[in-house]
Chain A
């Protein structure tokens, strides 16, 4: 049973992720101590909140550096929603903020290219697997619905890091990956069967 560290930086709902990981066959623990990441086989970086505050909190816990070290050592990590955005280089949410820069790209507001779709993007929307061989997407039907709630999205610098996309506000990248680091803009822990399937894929890496 993989030990999964759920990284706590004081902002978000960790209970539902912890419960979802348990139900998918993982052994989760929630921690805000960088040293305890060593106990884990897998890392999850959750996230509800605003980018700038989240990065400040990660730094205040010494988590930014710890995450970079763990990732460099090859441990698989999954960022969820804001946790995915934190993987990018920069965000323009409420000013310009540096991210963890694990996957090159910028976090930008939806709708910048115009259109009539309402922002925030809230609800269930389809996920098109652009790189269907990614282990995270294994066994998922193309265009399965997942639950989204966000105003910003990651624009990858290297299109090779864009694994799946979602048709809203002209289309945006909804799953990203670079080597052992991946992120989903949607909330697998709130996406019922489809979400549990994806989390199980992550646990089985």
Chain B
């Protein structure tokens, strides 16, 4: 049986890992290499590593850095931030990324997703969709939450699926870093709109939040950052909790 995944998210900025609230006021939370070594020892299911400033600064991924990190990473790693050309996808896969996360660039160049999927298979192309609640509806934002797009999340999710992504990381900007729970409603809407797996992200503060978004939101997996950076709770404890809540987990 396919196990439910819990993915720690590592956000990289300037020289180290950070974690903020609602995509702002980042606090430093240590070194990426150290975090990877720890998660490796703890046998976490998978990692997401995002270079959060790359797209904003208009620069490509730092291939050397990913190369170094991947050498220490014996678990699957999804890498994103600054991916704007097929050549970046190739370069990241070559240094050890397993899946490539595409966010901002998909709006100006949808062909990046279709060409990436054609070359490397859709299973390694992941769409990062960052959403913000606006009144009774939601809107997709690009460039680290700084630029509104014209898209409603479910419509954009269907579009990136059609273009060829194999997975979606759906992040609620409102809930990010607040530890107040995932946005169940939008997760449910997006998961119902597509047939690829959806990873819920943004808002985990208790293990019960994970159960909620998996059961009620239809997410296939959960990503979390603050809960692991700022509390004593570990991915393994999360897995035990989810197992006791009836999910198949890898322990």
Residue ranges of A at the interface with B (Cβ–Cβ < 8 Å) = 11-16, 19-20, 48-50, 53, 82, 93-94, 117-126, 145, 147, 149-151, 167-168, 187, 189-190, 192-193
Q: List 25 A-B contacts (CB under 8 A).
A: A11-B90, A11-B120, A13-B93, A13-B98, A15-B71, A16-B73, A19-B74, A48-B120, A48-B121, A49-B120, A50-B117, A119-B196, A120-B122, A120-B123, A120-B166, A123-B3, A124-B250, A125-B1, A145-B3, A145-B250, A147-B46, A147-B75, A149-B98, A149-B123, A192-B43
Knowing that A145-B3, A189-B74 touch, tell me 14 more A-B residue pairs with CB under 8 angstroms.
A12-B93, A13-B96, A13-B98, A14-B94, A15-B94, A48-B93, A82-B121, A122-B167, A124-B2, A149-B76, A150-B121, A151-B166, A190-B74, A190-B76
Residue ranges of B at the interface with A (Cβ–Cβ < 8 Å) = 1-5, 43, 45-46, 67, 70-71, 73-76, 90, 93-99, 117-124, 166-167, 195-197, 220-221, 250
Complex interface: chain A residues within 8 A of B46 (CB)? 123, 147
B5 touches A124 (CB 8 A): yes
How many angstroms from the CA of A168 to the CA of B76 in the assembled complex? 20
Complex interface: chain B residues within 8 A of A16 (CB)? 70, 73-74, 96
Q: Which residue from chain B places its CB closest to the CB of A19 in the assembled complex?
A: B71
| Minimum Cβ distance to chain A for residue B194 (Å) | 9
Most buried by B among A11, A48, A124, A192: A124
Partner of A13, one of B45, B95, B117: B95
How many angstroms from the CA of A190 to the CA of B73 in the assembled complex? 8
The main secondary structure of chain A at its interface with chain B is mixed
Which 7 pairs across A and B sit closest by C-beta, in order of nearness? A120-B123, A120-B166, A124-B250, A124-B3, A15-B96, A145-B250, A49-B120
Complex interface: chain B residues within 8 A of A151 (CB)? 121-123, 166
Complex interface: chain A residues within 8 A of B2 (CB)? 117, 121, 123-125, 168
Partner of A11, one of B1, B93, B96, B98: B93
Q: Which residue from chain B places its CB closest to the CB of A125 in the assembled complex?
A: B2
How many angstroms from the CA of A12 to the CA of B123 in the assembled complex? 13
Known A119-B196, A120-B166: A193·B43 in contact at CB below 8 Å: yes
Complex interface: chain B residues within 8 A of A122 (CB)? 5, 123, 166-167, 197, 220
Complex interface: chain A residues within 8 A of B70 (CB)? 13, 15-16
Q: Which residue from chain A places its CB closest to the CB of B40 in the assembled complex?
A: A192
Complex interface: chain B residues within 8 A of A145 (CB)? 3, 250
How many angstroms from the CA of A125 to the CA of B4 in the assembled complex? 9
How many angstroms from the CA of A84 to the CA of B132 in the assembled complex? 42
Partner of B45, one of A82, A93, A123: A123
A150 touches B43 (CB 8 A): no
A192 touches B123 (CB 8 A): no
How many angstroms from the CA of A189 to the CA of B167 in the assembled complex? 21
A149 touches B99 (CB 8 A): yes
A149 touches B74 (CB 8 A): no
